[in-house]
Amino acid sequence: MHTVVDKAQLSPNVTRLVIEAARIAEIRRPGQFVIVHRGPGAERIPLTIADADQERGTISLVIQAVGKSTEDLVGLAIGEGIQDVAGPLGRETELIESGHAVCVGGGVGTAVVHPIAMGLAERGVKVTSVIGGRSKEWVIFEDELRRAGEVITCTDDGSYGRHGFVTEALKDLIEAGGIDAVYAVGPVPMMRAVAEVTRPYGVPTFASLNAIMLDGTGMCGGCRVQVGGKTVYACVDGPEFDAHAVDFRELADRLGTYREFEAHALEVAHRRATEKDQAAIHAPDGSCLIPALATAAETREAAAAAGEAKG
């Protein structure tokens, strides 16, 4: 069991869980991930190791609650545990040895780019991070990335930092010259757009692909992607690949395969939770067991009746 020792809400639907995983904290490398399994009946979820503390024996996982399984995971309280954490998995990031790198993080992908930025900075590479969110409250990991170098923060609505997408700030940096590599993590349209910004300049660009994963060992084929016309597996050959060679259209299609099932599972879970809440607060005769709610309901009924009488 891997106990949750710390928990923080980073943006409206992004949560950081710090969990006990001493061996993984000791041996993980930038870019690697784990597959977590909360317990019996739960899905297996791939999550990049956003940070690790060898002394405490913990790793940080940053989770965007987008479906039933991720909602269940972020619902864990401090002291509760995750049954299985497999990893570290995947290849470590190909970090350049010197020069100037730009790390681009979009939304929750900003947490994933953090270990890459730190790994580069530790080698003495100059790091500029370009991070983006829809608006101010969606920007994450800004302070953490400052430890690696300059941070340019962008918001889609201009509520904080530079107004616009991360790709606009990246374009200015690339045009100014002197950039040796770009590392991009975020939504697929963002990573595709980053690849198109750097392609004309021939700047080596790496994208971390969030393919659908099941076993994480190259056996199931779930995470297959096309890179340079070849089929490769994000879990064992990646997750990072040459962004100029990735077939982003195919990746987006495959990511959409289970969207309807996921939405349905989430809706069912929410409905069940609501039914459970209703059952918990109502007696068998239908009367409300919580006095404050009962009074509020009576007040609403009385107001409605008065309205009807007036009408």
Nearer to ligand FES, 46 or 161 (CB): 46
Nearest CA to 203 among 128, 108, 119?
A: 128
Q: What is the DSSP secondary-structure string of 104-146?
A: EEETTHHHHHHHHHHHHHHTT-EEEEEEEESSGGG--SHHHHH
* Contact of 82 with 38, CB cutoff 8 Å: yes
Q: Return the residue of 66, 94, 222, 254 that touches ligand FES, per CB under 6 A.
A: 222
Q: Return the residue of 100, 134, 162, 244 that touches ligand NAD, per CB under 6 A.
A: 134
Question: Does 215 contact ligand FES by CB under 6 A?
Answer: yes
Q: At closest approach, how far in Å is the CB of 284 from ligand FES?
A: 48
Question: Does 281 contact ligand FES by CB under 6 A?
Answer: no
* Contact of 239 with 33, CB cutoff 8 Å: yes
Question: Does 37 contact ligand FES by CB under 6 A?
Answer: no
In Å, how far from its chain's centre is CA 197? 23
Terminal C-alpha separation, the chain: 62
Q: Which does 185 bind (CB under 5 to 8 A by kind): ligand FES, ligand NAD, none?
A: ligand NAD
Question: Does 222 contact ligand NAD by CB under 6 A?
Answer: no
* Contact of 91 with 116, CB cutoff 8 Å: no
Question: Does 208 contact ligand NAD by CB under 6 A?
Answer: yes
* Contact of 191 with 248, CB cutoff 8 Å: yes
Question: Does 116 contact ligand NAD by CB under 6 A?
Answer: no
Q: Which stretch binds ligand NAD (CB under 6 A): 101-109, 217-225, 244-252, 303-311?
A: 101-109
Region label for 207, one of left (φ > 0), alpha (ψ between -120 and 50) or beta (otherwise): beta
Question: Does 185 contact ligand NAD by CB under 6 A?
Answer: yes
Nearer to ligand NAD, 21 or 62 (CB): 62
Question: Does 63 contact ligand NAD by CB under 6 A?
Answer: no
* Contact of 38 with 72, CB cutoff 8 Å: yes
Q: Which does 189 bind (CB under 5 to 8 A by kind): ligand FES, ligand NAD, none?
A: ligand NAD
Q: Would you say the C-alpha torsion 256, 257, 260, 265 has a positive or negative sign?
A: negative
Tell me 183's DSSP state. Answer: E
Question: Does 183 contact ligand NAD by CB under 6 A?
Answer: no
Q: Return the residue of 33, 141, 183, 233 that touches ligand FES, per CB under 6 A.
A: 233
Binding site for ligand FES (CB under 6 A): 213-216, 218-223, 233, 235
**Interface positions with ligand NAD (CB under 6 A):** 106-109, 112, 132-134, 138, 154, 156, 165-167, 185-187, 189-190, 193, 208, 210
